[in-house]
């Protein structure tokens, strides 16, 4: 696979976003727009020259992007850098099973999008809590995994999220107080603060500026942080920013 062909294949991913009229916003405090998929493709080829792995990374990304667009069309921030870096690193560690790993990785994330997005009973509006590591940090803290911390996008964590989705679906079925049935076309918000697009953008931007994001997903070489009270920080900042509070959604 020659360089110009690789660039062409990854450029198709940028074109998919453009065709969907997505404003590719980044949470990067120093750059308002995401790293292009062409540039991410270049970073991939700096790590491996294996044509099969490169093609599989690109194909897996297309599947993930398609699932995200189908299930979370109102998502605001679209950083992919660390997700791509993590999936590639894990694939290379898998050596001869690299392509098989990437296929499994893609399967799990696509399924996660389907279970949590607008076409499901869970019906979250954004993937921000997943991509930027809030779900991961909460899981690590809950499990007290202080010696061996799984990657934010490890298969272990993805399996946990898939199981958690099934648990939430069971709660919805019995009309749980927190995870209850929703009125048609409403998005679910289990937090105490509003997550309208304007409020979500303000809160996350403020968090990023003050380095209160568990996974700096805009950074290929990010160092995920789990041992901070991110949930409480978000709650406190929502009050500081005068974001409307609610009992439940």
Q: Which residue has the higher pLDDT, 183 or 73?
A: 73
Using pLDDT thresholds of 50, 70 and 90, give the confidence band for residue 246: confident
Q: Is 186 a member of any domain?
A: yes
SS (H, E, C) 28-90: CCCCCECCCHHHHHHHHHHHCCCHHHHHHHHHHHHHHHHHHHHHCCCCCECCCHHHHHHHHHH
Q: What are phi and psi of 193, to 5 degrees?
A: -110, 155
Dump pLDDT digits (tens) for 88-99. Answer: 999 999 999 999
Could you give the percent of the chain with pLDDT greater than 90?
Answer: 89
Dump pLDDT digits (tens) for 53-64. Answer: 999 999 999 999
The domain in which residue 40 lies consists of 3-240
What is the average per-residue pLDDT within 134-144? 90
What is the average per-residue pLDDT within 65-73? 98
What is the average per-residue pLDDT within 187-203? 96
Q: Is 249 a member of any domain?
A: no
Q: Is 248 a member of any domain?
A: no
Q: Which residue has the higher pLDDT, 4 or 116?
A: 116
Dump pLDDT digits (tens) for 72-81. Answer: 999 999 999 9
Q: Is 196 a member of any domain?
A: yes
Interacting residues of 85 by C-beta distance below 8 A, sequence separation 6+: 43, 220, 221, 222
Q: Is 246 a member of any domain?
A: no
Q: Is 172 helix (H, G, I), strand (E, B) or coil?
A: helix
Dump pLDDT digits (tens) for 155-181. Answer: 999 999 999 999 999 999 999 988 999
The number of domains in the chain is 1
Kindly give the residue spans of alpha helices, DSSP state H, lying in the chain: 3-19, 37-47, 51-71, 81-93, 98-116, 128-131, 134-143, 155-173, 197-209, 230-240
Position 142 scores a pLDDT of: 86
Dump pLDDT digits (tens) for 17-43. Answer: 999 999 999 999 999 999 999 999 999
Question: Is pLDDT above 70 for 128?
Answer: yes
Question: Is pLDDT above 80 for 144?
Answer: no
Q: Cβ(196)–Cβ(204) under 8 Å?
A: no
Position 2 scores a pLDDT of: 61
Of the candidate ranges 26-30, 185-189, 205-209, the one whose mean pLDDT is the lowest: 185-189
């Amino acid at each position: 696979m020659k360089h110009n062909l690789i660039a062409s294949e990854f450029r198709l991913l940028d074109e998919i976003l453009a065709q969907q009229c997505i404003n590719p916003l980044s949470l990067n405090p120093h750059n308002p727009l995401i790293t292009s998929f062409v540039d991410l493709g270049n970073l991939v080829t700096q790590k491996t020259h294996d044509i099969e792995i490169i093609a599989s990374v690109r194909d897996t990304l297309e599947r993930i992007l398609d699932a995200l667009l189908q299930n979370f069309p109102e998502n605001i921030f679209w950083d992919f850098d660390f997700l791509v870096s993590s999936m590639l690193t894990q694939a290379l560690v898998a050596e001869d099973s690299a392509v098989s790993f990437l296929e499994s990785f893609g399967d799990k994330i696509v399924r996660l999008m389907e279970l949590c997005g607008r076409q499901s009973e869970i019906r979250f509006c954004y993937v921000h809590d997943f991509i930027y590591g809030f779900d991961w940090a909460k899981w690590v803290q809950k499990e007290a995994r202080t010696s061996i911390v799984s990657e934010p996008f490890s298969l272990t964590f993805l399996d946990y999220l898939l199981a958690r989705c099934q648990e939430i679906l069971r709660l919805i079925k019995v009309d749980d107080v927190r995870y209850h049935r929703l009125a048609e076309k409403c998005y679910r918000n289990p937090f105490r603060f509003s997550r309208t697009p304007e409020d979500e953008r303000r809160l996350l931007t403020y968090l990023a500026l003050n380095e209160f994001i568990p996974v700096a997903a805009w950074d290929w070489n990010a160092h995920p942080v789990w041992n901070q009270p991110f949930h409480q920080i978000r709650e406190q900042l929502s009050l500081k920013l005068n974001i409307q509070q609610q009992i439940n959604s």
